[in-house]
Amino acid sequence: MGIKPYTVNGTTLYRVHASAYPEQGGRIQRRADGIKTMKEADRVYKEMLRDATEEATKRNLQGSSWKRLILEYAEALHDGTAVDYEIQWTTAADTIRTLEIYTAPWMDRPASEVTPSDVKAAYRWMEADGKSRSRQKALKSAINGIFTWAMDNRRVKGITTSPARDVPLTVSKDEKRPEVLTQTQIDTLLQEAMDASHDWYPVWAMALLTGMRSGEMYALEWSDVCFEEKLIHVTKSYNGRIKAVKCTKGGYWRDVPISEELEAFLHELRPLTGTSKYVLPRIMHWQRGEAARVLRFFCKRSESRP
């Protein structure tokens, strides 16, 4: 029993403590000090235990809070037990931070009480902050993934579908057209970069000749290039967020054919790499994930020339 006597100025008083434990984890506690008699302490203990137990039962019926659900899901992503759901740990950090911002009003609420109206409000908030459709879509995928995982693992009760499932995004698909270079601009870019012996020329040329992603090119080694078969084996990708080489974005290997133009380029590049095992130069801004910024700056500077 959680009743302990203690003495103050020669007078015996009683301290009472009662706890209950919800299925979702954590502890519900009730405390009281300064009780004068054992009989009163026993009565207070029974009341507090009943109150804590009722609160635990209520939480059991409701399931985890949204905040706890996010934390549990993040842990499951990190230890690999949630790999079959919407987002992966390597891309989850930013999304979880976005959840913490735009779903903040839900945090202390039982996840089972989150409604489609709450999701709409989060989208409107993102739109007001100038967030893109793709960021809204990432948030929606994360909410769906968390709820699906939670229902599968009995972390949330009383619902059978994610509240975000049928809620449309608020930002138009035509919000902003992607920046795409014309063939003339591409030819000009490469020619000017080559004439200037620009550090990024090999990277840009490889991207245009192969269609490989930035992380795949950064991780590409000469051992992946098979001149005999005229193939580049794309088996891995560099992830700037975790500063490590991992599997490709699609999670599978693929081969890129080596055209005559690409073969000539690779033969010219090979002697320039010296003893490095990597096909392309190790550029500090590339490792930092600033490839798009560098390319945009070079293109604007090129356009400004007479």
Lowest mean pLDDT among 27-31, 168-172, 206-210, 247-251: 247-251
Residue 249 has pLDDT above 80, yes or no: no
- Give the chain's domain count: 3
How many residues in total does the chain contain?
A: 306
Cα 244 to Cα 154, 200, 253, 300, distances in angstroms:
34, 21, 18, 31
Instruction: Quote the domain boundaries for residue 273.
Output: 183-304
- Cβ proximity of 108 and 62 under 8 Å: no
Dihedral over Cα of 141, 144, 150, 154: its sign: negative
Q: What is the pTM of this model?
A: 0.47
222-225 long-range contacts, CB within 8 A, separation 24+: 222/270, 222/273, 222/277, 222/278, 222/279, 223/277, 224/279, 225/258, 225/266, 225/279
300 and 187, same structural domain? yes
Would you say residue 165 lies in a domain? Answer: no
Would you say residue 167 lies in a domain? Answer: no
pLDDT at 108: 82
275 and 209, same structural domain? yes
pLDDT at 183: 75
As a whole number of angstroms, the distance between CA 104 and CA 48 comes to: 31
Residue 245 has pLDDT above 80, yes or no: no
As a whole number of angstroms, the distance between CA 204 and CA 189 comes to: 9
Give the number of C-alpha atoms closer than 13 A to the C-alpha of residue 18, restricted to the C-beta side: 18
The CATH number assigned to the domain holding 207 equals 1.10.443.10
Would you say residue 113 lies in a domain? Answer: yes
16 and 76, same structural domain? no
pLDDT at 175: 53
Residue 220 has pLDDT above 70, yes or no: yes
pLDDT at 164: 93
Residue 63 has pLDDT above 70, yes or no: no
78 and 27, same structural domain? no
55 and 39, same structural domain? yes
105 and 24, same structural domain? no
Geometric angle at alpha carbon 251, from 249 and 255, rounded to 5°? 85
pLDDT at 185: 78
Return phi, psi of residue 95, to 5°: -65, -40
Would you say residue 158 lies in a domain? Answer: no
Express each pLDDT in 27-55 by its tens digit.
889 999 999 999 999 999 999 999 888 87
Lookup: tokens for 10 = 């020669």
